[in-house]
């Protein structure tokens, strides 16, 4: 077999065991994945491992299983029935601990409630809930019936909620009276009522009591969960579903265009994630696993619910903000529950960097064995700070790359197979079965150290089944640019040792005087300055260059904004990237506009920089950040006018 069929040459690999596993997974993919699939419990074995009719893949065809059974039932038949499944902590400090036997009981009762409400196999159920145990329980209850859930992030507006409900014609909505965020109550029921008024498919709404605040309840449509539980049956037989029966639909959060309803299967998705989390995190029986993502995103689906529970791990679920009521909230949780695996975003890491390591030093973090990074590329400075001050220079960092569409981790270190030498900022190598490559605009492999577009050249079990109700959009979005290859939309570099470096979205690119440069590269250059904690880069229309660079930067504690510091940062970015990286404007701010999942809303920053309408801010964590940025922009313009 030619090495050109692999995404790197074997001589670059620093470890042999991992290479041997990987090479076989690419050479004999169906045999390899069949072996992995047998680790799960199937009601009926598949007749065909893969049915590939490009660009549609169907894995383990004819096999039957149930996600709820795999995540709960099979554990209560063992000693794990008394093991902790979920450590939950609310933002106000209330706690709940659910064993696997308790989780089993709750999932069955919730499934009984759904069944009594008329939910059957194939029906769509919308879940609009805060980060409380009822959210994963309802997900598993839907799966138990063969119903398809769509979790809608609890930061979305009524219109965004209605759009998603209407797209899948959900017949039932589950929400709560509210949720807590930074000490305030988010009025989820009120928002849900506005959405249901726009959603004719919704027949009933189930409401979880979380805050105790009074809410309007419409007779014969709205029902309190606690009332329904009184009549719930203690057991519901898990419905066997075919491997390619949809498990869930999850909407991507794009900045333009209609959100895409990504459909994931049951069998392939579970197999991929079960393996990926063993390989990447080396999950053990004693592991206490905490992913800080919101369940409303794919990271929450795979990293909080389906993968760790399929392994029988103990997970931590936290409702609130990372810095509320103080900056050591996360570190307190790690100490309190003895977290061994901690998985978070570079955005959060950089936020904590800004305030220094004193907050983490107040807590005993010695239980940690492994750290993870997810959501975006992690810059080397953040990687090293994370390694030194959170991991105590003893915990490897699993830097993972994946997407909503991939369903699970695709490129990552693999301590569960064999440890690889880590390079700060690199996601290292593709996982077994993932045929990743970096190509140019013509779809040809690029040379080492040359930037290109990241593609996947062969189907993998966790890949999306398609876009809900729109197969043509699926073909156009992911398979039309490079026929036969899945287009990820990300820039990447593969270095001379075969390590992959993800450079950010290909559509987050500025065109300066005819030169294209990614925002991620510019932001990495900015945060490499010793006084800059975090930065976001957007473009501004320029009559000569087409676009100019605008930087919004947060300084480290103790650093003071000044004209000289702006010049210093400008010179630094020029040195790091080149003259093309010269910013036209730099704003020093104390906050950046972010969604509650930690993503910077560059759309807002670009609107401010271009004097355009800012638009919808319903998913924003803190609107005060926008007010500050607008004020800083106006003050700079005023100063410029006075200078003239």
pLDDT category of residue 20 using cuts at 50, 70 and 90 = very high
Residue 3: predicted pLDDT:
29
Is the pLDDT reported for residue 9 higher than 50?
Answer: no
CA 33/CA 245 separation, integer angstroms? 18
Q: What is the mean pLDDT of residues 412-439?
A: 94
Q: Give the pLDDT score at 613.
A: 81
Give the integer Cα–Cα distance in Å for 357 and 531: 15
- pLDDT, tens digit, 9 for 90 and up, residues 232-244: 999 999 999 999 9
Query: Domain spans of the chain?
Result: 522-643
Segment 407-417 mean pLDDT: 96
Residue 249 pLDDT exceeds 70? yes
* pLDDT tens sequence across 443-455: 999 999 999 999 9
Percent of the chain with pLDDT over 70: 93
Between 111 and 625, where is the model more confident?
Answer: 111
CA-to-CA dists, residue 229 to 105, 116, 137, 371, angstroms = 11, 11, 13, 39
Q: pLDDT tens digits for 282-326?
A: 999 999 999 999 998 899 999 999 999 999 999 999 999 999 999
DSSP letter string over 52-94? Answer: EETTEEEEEET-EE-HHIIIIIHHHTSGGGGSEEEEEE-TTS-
Mean residue pLDDT across the chain: 91
Least confident window among 261-265, 358-362, 637-641: 637-641
Q: Is the model's pLDDT at 550 over the cut of 90?
A: yes
| pLDDT 10s digits, 68-82 | 999 999 999 999 999
Handedness of CA 351, 356, 357, 362 (dihedral sign): negative
Question: Residue 566's closest CA among 579, 591, 548, 584?
Answer: 584
Of 621 and 486, which is predicted with more confidence?
486
Of 394, 351, 354, 347, which Cα lies nearest the Cα of 373?
A: 347
Per-residue model confidence (pLDDT) at position 622: 67
Give buried/exposed letters for 480-517 (b at 16+ CB in 10 A, else e): ebbeebbbbbbbbbbeebbbbbbbbebebbbebeeeeb
> What pLDDT sits at residue 619?
60
Q: Return the pLDDT at 225.
A: 98
Whole-number pLDDT of residue 253 = 54
pLDDT score at 6: 39
The CA-atom distances, in angstroms, between 315 and each of 140, 283, 310 are 15, 11, 11
**What does the pLDDT read at residue 359?**
96
Phi, psi of 595 (to 5 degrees): -75, 170
pLDDT tens-digit readout, 564-594: 999 999 999 988 877 788 999 999 998 888 8
Per-residue confidence (pLDDT) for residue 1, from 0 to 100: 24
Q: How confident is the model at residue 17 (pLDDT cuts 50, 70, 90)?
A: confident
Q: How confident is the model at residue 644 (pLDDT cuts 50, 70, 90)?
A: low
Residues 468, 473, 474, 475, CA torsion sign: positive
The second-level CATH assignment, the architecture, of 522-643 is 2-Layer Sandwich (3.30)
Q: Are 165 and 199 in contact (CB under 8 A)?
A: yes
φ, ψ dihedrals at 301, nearest 5°:
-60, -55
Confidence bin at 508 (pLDDT 50/70/90) = confident
The lowest-confidence range among 176-185, 187-196, 344-353, 621-630 is 621-630
What was the pLDDT predicted at 233? 98
Q: Look at residue 595 and tell me whether its pLDDT is greater than 80.
A: no
What was the pLDDT predicted at 157?
Answer: 80
* pLDDT reading at 514 higher than 80: no
pLDDT band of residue 8 (cuts 50, 70, 90) is: very low
The model's pLDDT over 328-348, given as tens digits with 9 standing for 90+, comes to 999 999 999 999 999 999 888
């Amino acid at each position: 077999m030619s090495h050109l069929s692999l995404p790197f040459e074997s001589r670059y690999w620093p470890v042999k065991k991992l290479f041997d596993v990987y090479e076989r997974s690419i050479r004999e993919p169906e045999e390899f994945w069949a072996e992995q699939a047998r680790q799960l419990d199937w009601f009926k074995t598949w007749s065909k491992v893969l049915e590939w009719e490009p660009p549609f893949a169907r894995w383990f065809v004819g096999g039957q299983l149930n996600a709820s059974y795999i995540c709960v039932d099979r554990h209560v038949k063992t000693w794990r029935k008394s093991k902790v499944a979920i450590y939950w902590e609310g933002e106000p400090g209330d706690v709940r601990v659910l064993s696997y036997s308790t989780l089993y009981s709750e999932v069955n009762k919730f499934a009984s409630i759904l069944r009594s409400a008329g939910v059957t196999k194939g029906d769509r159920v919308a879940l609009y809930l805060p980060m409380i145990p009822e959210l994963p329980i309802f997900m598993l209850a839907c799966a138990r019936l063969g119903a398809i859930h769509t979790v809608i992030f609890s930061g979305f507006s009524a219109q965004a909620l209605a759009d998603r409900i209407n797209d899948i014609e959900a017949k039932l909505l589950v929400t709560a009276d509210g949720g807590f965020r930074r000490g305030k109550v988010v009025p989820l029921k009120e928002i849900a009522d506005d959405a249901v008024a726009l959603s004719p498919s919704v027949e009933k709404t189930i409401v979880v009591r979380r805050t105790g605040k009074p809410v309007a309840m419409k007779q014969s449509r709205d029902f309190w969960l606690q009332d329904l539980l009184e009549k719930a049956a203690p057991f519901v037989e898990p419905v066997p579903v075919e491997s390619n029966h949809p498990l869930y639909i999850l909407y991507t959060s794009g900045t333009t265009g209609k959100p895409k309803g990504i459909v994931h299967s049951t069998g392939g998705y579970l197999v991929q994630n079960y393996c990926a989390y063993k390989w990447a995190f080396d999950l053990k029986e004693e592991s206490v696993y905490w992913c800080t993502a919101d369940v409303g995103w794919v990271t929450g689906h795979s990293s909080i619910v389906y993968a760790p529970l399929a392994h029988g791990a103990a997970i931590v679920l936290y409702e609130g903000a990372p810095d509320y009521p103080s900056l050591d909230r996360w570190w307190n949780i790690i100490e309190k529950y003895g977290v061994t695996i901690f998985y978070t975003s570079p955005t959060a890491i950089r936020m904590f960097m800004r305030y220094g390591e004193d907050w983490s030093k107040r807590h005993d973090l010695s239980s940690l064995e492994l750290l993870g990074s997810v959501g975006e590329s992690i810059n080397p400075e953040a990687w090293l700070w994370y390694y030194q001050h959170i991991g105590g220079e003893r915990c490897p960092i699993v830097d993972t790359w994946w997407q909503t569409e991939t369903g699970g981790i695709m490129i990552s270190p693999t301590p569960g197979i064999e440890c690889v030498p880590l390079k700060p900022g690199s996601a290292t190598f593709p996982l077994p079965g993932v045929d990743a490559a970096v190509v140019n605009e013509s779809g040809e492999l690029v040379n080492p150290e040359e930037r290109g577009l990241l593609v996947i050249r062969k189907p993998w079990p966790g890949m999306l089944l398609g876009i809900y109700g729109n197969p043509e959009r699926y073909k156009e979005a992911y398979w039309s640019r490079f026929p036969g290859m899945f287009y990820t939309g990300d820039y990447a570099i593969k270095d001379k040792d075969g390590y992959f470096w993800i450079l950010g979205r290909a559509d987050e690119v500025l065109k300066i005087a005819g030169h294209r440069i990614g925002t991620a590269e510019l932001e990495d250059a900015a945060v490499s300055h010793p006084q800059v904690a975090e930065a976001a880069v957007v473009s501004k229309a320029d009559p000569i260059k087409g676009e100019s660079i605008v930087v919004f930067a947060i300084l480290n504690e103790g650093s003071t904004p000044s004209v000289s510091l702006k010049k210093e940062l400008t010179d630094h970015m020029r040195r790091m990237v080149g003259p093309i990286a010269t910013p036209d404007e730099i704003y020093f701010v104390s906050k950046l506009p972010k969604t509650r999942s930690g993503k910077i809303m560059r759309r807002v920053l670009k609107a401010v920089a271009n004097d355009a309408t800012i638009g919808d801010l319903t998913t924003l964590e803190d609107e005060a950040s926008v007010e500050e940025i607008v004020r800083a922009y106006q003050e700079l313009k005023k100063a410029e006018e006075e200078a003239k």
